[in-house]
């Protein structure tokens, strides 16, 4: 792999930029691998990357039914934060956030991590108490967050209306090192690094069946033929239920549509991320100038990557009240992704009833921020066959035993 650098740009300029190599190879699948990962979204690619980097397992294939990064990884609103309430979540999301800090350097790929600061607005007294509790929890967990007053909110976000008629702003939970990153670049950067380690990323290769013998996984049927493997990682987000069914088990997961939209580009007007959970909306401004907007999920099972219009309407109605200046903006694009929702709104990184088959799913509306930490924990689980400290609490049997990692309160809105 030729490294990207300012010198490389100068050198390639001499040959009219014709000499850049492809970022990753597109090989045909081999007959078998030491490990196969289903799903080349951020989580699948990061899992492969840390399998190679942290555990030296490089005879790995990543199978993707569409194109890499074309699932939720390429459809999300890129919010990165780690201000969760429960200890296991804080540990996992903070690991991810801290890995994001140096990911561009590590991958030699500009993922445009922008720790611009993130505010979660409190608009009811209940929320004020909830966020104060989160601040205290975060401080004990070593996650740097603080409570700020409405006046400070107004300083940080001049375009905000702090005394709206229905939901005045009573303060905010502020994480100064939260922010955004370029979603596609995260997938592309990991993919390039995986390919460089000799791993095979096989796109347009849909897994249609899982084969096993004596309770141990032996391989997968795909649209490109049978591929044998010693270990299998299922990392398919919205399609987790479908692939789990192939592997012979059910999950506590429901797949639903979550939408986002962007406005026409405007001059820089907001340099932080603002989330308003009570009214179900959040917004940030992309480097292109578009206002990036998201809201809540639809309430019913759906695989169409298309959501209901009334959700968009509700989200925009709430945001117009909070940011009156956006009332005259035109919205340019709207899209949906299929998110995998668990009952406690926490992910699953787990062994499964099938031997040597592991699953990473349930990130629902908020897994972009977790990609590096999740890949790290999943690689550890797959390499050793047992979860490490990061994944230990996130097994799929926690539901049976009532060990919920309840983040449904901390994350009232999708992000």
List residues binding ligand FAD (CB under 6 A).
Answer: 38-44, 63-66, 70-73, 75-79, 206-207, 235-237, 239, 243, 258-260, 294, 337, 339, 363, 365-369, 415
- Residues 111, 191: contact at Cβ < 8 Å? no
- List, in sequence order, every residue forming a beta bridge with 255; answer none if it has no partner: 340
Tell the smallest beta-carbon distance from residue 130 to ligand FAD (Å). Answer: 20
DSSP state of 355: B
Interface with another protein, residue 407, by CB under 8 A: no
- Residues 35, 10: contact at Cβ < 8 Å? no
User: How many residues bind to another protein according to rule CB under 8 A?
Assistant: 23
Interface with another protein, residue 252, by CB under 8 A: yes
Interface with another protein, residue 343, by CB under 8 A: yes
CA dist 184 and 245 (Å) reads 29
Interface with another protein, residue 223, by CB under 8 A: no
Tell the smallest beta-carbon distance from residue 313 to ligand FAD (Å). Answer: 16
Interface with another protein, residue 144, by CB under 8 A: no
Interface with another protein, residue 308, by CB under 8 A: yes
Tell the smallest beta-carbon distance from residue 26 to ligand FAD (Å). Answer: 15
Considering only 251, 283, 292, 414, the residue that binds another protein (CB under 8 A) is 251
Q: 63-93: string of b/e by CB count within 10 Å (b at 16+)?
A: bbbeebbbbbbbbbbbbbbbbbbbebbbbbb
The one of another protein, ligand FAD, none whose footprint includes residue 241, by CB under 5 to 8 A per kind, is: another protein
Considering only 250, 317, 384, 403, the residue that binds another protein (CB under 8 A) is 250
Looking at residues 253 to 272 of the shown chain, list those that interact with another protein (rule: CB under 8 A): 253-255
Nearest CA to 302 out of 352, 367, 336, 257 is that of 257
CA dist 384 and 132 (Å) reads 39
The one of ligand FAD, another protein, none whose footprint includes residue 299, by CB under 5 to 8 A per kind, is: another protein
Tell the smallest beta-carbon distance from residue 16 to ligand FAD (Å). Answer: 34
CA dist 104 and 412 (Å) reads 31
Considering only 77, 86, 104, 302, the residue that binds another protein (CB under 8 A) is 302
- Angle at alpha carbon of residue 115, lines to 144 and 410, rounded to 5°: 50
- Angle at alpha carbon of residue 51, lines to 230 and 241, rounded to 5°: 65
């Amino acid at each position: 792999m030729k490294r990207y650098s300012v010198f490389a740009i100068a050198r390639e300029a001499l040959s009219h930029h014709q000499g850049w190599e492809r970022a990753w190879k597109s090989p045909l699948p081999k007959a078998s691998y030491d490990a196969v990962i289903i799903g080349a979204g951020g989580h699948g690619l990061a899992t492969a990357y840390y399998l190679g980097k942290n555990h030296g397992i490089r005879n790995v294939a990543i199978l993707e039914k569409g194109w890499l990064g074309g699932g939720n990884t390429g459809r999300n609103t890129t919010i990165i934060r780690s201000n969760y309430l429960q200890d296991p979540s804080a540990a996992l999301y903070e690991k991810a956030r801290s890995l994001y800090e140096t990911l561009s350097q590590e991958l030699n790929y500009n993922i445009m991590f922008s720790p611009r600061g993130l505010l979660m607005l409190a608009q009811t007294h209940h929320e004020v108490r909830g966020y104060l509790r989160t601040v205290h929890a975060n401080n004990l967990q070593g996650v740097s967050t603080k409570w700020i007053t409405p006046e400070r909110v107004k300083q940080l976000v001049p375009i905000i209306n702090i005394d709206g008629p229905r939901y005045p702003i009573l303060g905010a939970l502020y994480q100064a090192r939260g922010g955004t990153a370029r979603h596609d670049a995260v997938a592309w950067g990991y993919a390039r690094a995986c390919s460089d380690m000799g791993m095979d990323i096989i796109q347009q290769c849909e897994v249609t069946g899982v084969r096993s013998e004596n309770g141990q996984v032996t391989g997968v049927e795909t649209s490109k033929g049978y591929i044998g493997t010693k270990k299998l990682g299922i990392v398919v987000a919205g399609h987790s239920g479908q692939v789990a069914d192939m592997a012979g088990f059910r999950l506590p997961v429901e797949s639903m549509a979550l939408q986002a939209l962007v406005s026409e580009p405007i001059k820089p007007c907001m340099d932080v991320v603002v989330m308003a959970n009570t009214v179900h909306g959040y917004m940030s401004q992309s480097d292109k100038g578009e206002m990036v907007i998201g809201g809540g999920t639809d309430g019913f099972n759906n695989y169409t990557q298309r959501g209901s219009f009334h959700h968009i309407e509700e989200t925009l109605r709430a945001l117009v009240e909070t940011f009156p200046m956006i009332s005259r903006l035109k919205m340019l694009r709207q899209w949906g992704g299929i998110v995998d929702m668990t009952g406690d709104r926490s992910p699953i990184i787990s062994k499964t009833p099938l031997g040597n088959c592991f699953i990473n799913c349930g990130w629902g509306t908020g897994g972009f921020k977790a990609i590096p930490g999740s890949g790290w924990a999943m690689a550890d689980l797959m390499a050793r066959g047992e979860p490490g400290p990061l994944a230990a609490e996130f097994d799929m049997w926690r539901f049976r035993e009532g060990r919920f990692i309840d983040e449904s309160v901390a994350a009232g809105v999708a992000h």
